[in-house]
Structures are given as C-alpha cells and as structure tokens.
Structure 1
C-alpha cells in the first residue's frame, strides 16, 4: 500500500525499513514494427487529441522505449501524436527508455490527471482477440519475450512505514538525498519523539519531507488516535 501524502498535511509514521535496490528497464532487441502495435498505441497515433494528452503521450513514449525503437525514430513517430495533443518534446525525453510502459490494467483505469496514466474514457483502448491473452502493451507486440536486454535505471530507494492514522504498513519511493535524510533522522531522533511525513512546496515543486516533533506532540497525536 502506497503512503499518500498531501501538501500541508502531516502524517505520523514509524519507519520500519529503508531499502535500496538497482532498477532495470527491459528493452526489445528488435524494433517492433507499427503493424504489430496494440490497438491502444495505433489509436493514439491515428486520433490523438489534447484531452488527456500528457497521460497518453507518456504511455506512448514509454511503449516506444521498450519496443526497441531508436530515440530519433521514436521521436518522429511520437511527434505525430504530440502535434495533435499540443505536447512538448520534454515529455518524450522524460519517458522514453526511462520509464516502464504501464500495464493494460493501469491504462484501462480512470485517472484524475497526469502523472497518473489511466486512459479510461479517451477511446484509445479497443481490445481485440490478442488483447485478451496479454496484460501489457509491449507483450502484445512481441514475438519472442526473451529477445531483449536490461538497461540500468539507477537505484530505487523504498521506505516502509507504519502509518498511525490508517494503522497499516505503507511504503513510498524516495530520492538518494531524502534516503540519507531519513537515516540521519532515525539516528538522531529520541525514543519519545514522533516522525511525520508530509509534502512541502520548494522552488515551485512539491517534495516529500520527514519531520521530527517533540514528545509532547507525540503524546497528543497518540491520544487523539486512541
């Protein structure tokens, strides 16, 4: 379960573990031709629009990255959609060969907006018989699922916490800098102090932050929960 944080709202947590592991992206060794694209990708290229443009553009770029396309060729194809949707090239750069293409389940889901990648209601997903056999757009187009290579994406830091509000174990991904900050807090915080997770706006962007409050606040929080 993912820890959900909102700007200005502090969630009392206990940190269970901080783990790191290398992340990789599977990429096809062959360039998958357009005629083998799944219906959702073909429809994006045929009738892309501004509605949900960022979400669909991210999905298409991530698909091309794992479908074995060279960056220059992939960008030319992606721009067919981008010009209709009014997108900038920066979105392509962020998602191409850097992010996993979402599953069919995610694509079929509803989303409030980017960066959620649900495309429900946009009429791109029109399943055919092969769609019923697979659960990932890239798998639809593959002839040999073993014919690929792994691109290193760097380290993934996962923090597992106990959320005192929901009474559940939850998790979130953090940057290397925030991981180091959490480890410092754990080393320095007293046994009677409470750790809070929140989102704060810094330089115009929302960032995850962990805070430590004194023991008196910890007592108040726990008494409210009980």
Structure 2
C-alpha cells in the first residue's frame, strides 16, 4: 500500500493567479480539489441542501430551471446575519465533506486543495503544507478591474473581507510572487512541483 498523498493547500487573494497555478498542478497530474467548486456542487438541483434552502426561503430563491439563484440568496444573507449563519451552518459541513471525500480519492503523490478563504475559514488545517500565491495589492486591483468590470470600491471591499496578505504570508510554507506573466507562473509551479515530489508528507 503506497503512502496516502499529502495535501498542499493553495491560496491567494483575489486576482492573484491561484486558479492558473491550480490548473498547472492539474496538468502535471496532481489531484486538485477546489473549495469554490465544492460549494457549487452542494447546492446543485437534486442535492438535499438546495431543497432545504428552497423550503426555508420559498421558490423565489430558485431560478426558472430549478437551480439556486445565487444573487437572491446573497441578498438574503447580506441583509440578515442570522440568515447568513443559518446558511453557513447548513452548507459548511457539506462543503467540508465534499472536499474531504474528494481528497480521499487522490492517487497522485500529493493533492492540491485550492481555496480563496483557506486562512479565514481555518481550512488550511486540512493541508500539510501551504502555498500562497502572492501579488502586490496595486496589481490585484488592476487585474480585478480589468477582469470583472467591478468598481474600485467593490474591489477594495473584497480585499478588506479577505485575509490580509500578512495573515496569509505568516502561515505560508511557500510563497510564489506572481507579478510577471503566465509563462513565468507556470514555470514557478513546475519548479515547486519537482521540489514537492521530494517531500515525504509535505514537510521538508
């Protein structure tokens, strides 16, 4: 029986490039689990969580095709902290189980667990090693404005809600500063990958 794959936590702030880094790890054959995807899966039509949400908030919380209207749910939980706690109480354990189940199926030397809220949610405890994709804040803002057509105020609000760079960096085992182009990011992921293959259990 070969050793169970160890888990690499991958995080970074908005527009840091963590999705591009995760995609490269996947191309290199590493099992990749995305917390955002898990959060989407648990509320898909036919899943119990969606039925519970619809029962609590009524059919107006659903789109015409029966899927969750995320905008409507967002309005409900932003307006009322009690509702937010209820939704989080329902979804967080389901998302955690989805992530754990997926990590348990990994057969690659290590598995990559990607989450934008790794530090804030305490999810970093699932990982044996933490890689932070770091980017100067001015570049984060520039990239997000170019990508999402959001306003500067919206981007700054998102940055405030996420862990500070200092919090993330203080927990990081490895930091990849992604202030160049995609080719460079991919080459840095390749470099880290070869290093990770030499680490039993993710610890140097």
TM-score (norm 1): 0.24
Structure whose residues are more often strand by fraction: 1
Of structures 1 and 2, the one with the larger relative CO (CA 8 A, separation 6+) is: 2
The answer to which structure has the higher helix fraction is: 2
Q: Could you tell me the TM-score, scaled by structure 2's length?
A: 0.25
The structure number with the bigger radius of gyration is 1
